[in-house]
Amino acid sequence: MANKNTQACVCGSGTSYVHCCGRFIDENQIPLSPEQLMRSRYSAYTLQDEAYLLATWHPSTRPVSLSEENKLPVKWVELKVQNASLPDDNDVKATVEFVARYKLNGKAEKLHEVSEFVREDGRWFYLNGQVS
């Protein structure tokens, strides 16, 4: 990212990176919703920030490191959130459905996933996802 302070966030929120996902990735603020966490994880994938991705992955399903598949030269192009549950303060599980478009070796691809999130000690974590 050329200038993180003014550049639009890659997650597609319409706000600047610094006021969107940058707060979570660079400033260690905690996402308040599963959708914020999912968007920040997408941004972390575009930045190849393995540390953030692993830190936001629930320990019960977190890999030791990202697989070689996740380290391929992927150019992430667009994120569209299709559906996001709106959990209340008592909910401990939530889902976010999204479509992420990317290019791999110049070929356009898409990832359609329903991601599951779990809240522990007031913090959301990515648990797993069902790809369709």
pLDDT in tens, 26-61: 999 999 999 999 999 999 999 989 999 999 999 999
* Sequence letter at residue 15: T
CA 94 to chain CA centroid, nearest Å: 14
Number of CB atoms found within 10 A of residue 28's CB? 9
Kindly report the CATH class assigned to 17-131: alpha beta
For residue 79, the cross-strand partners are 100
Edge-first strand listing for the sheet containing 123-131:
74-84, 93-104, 107-120, 123-131
pTM over 0.85: yes
Q: Where are the domains of the chain?
A: 17-131
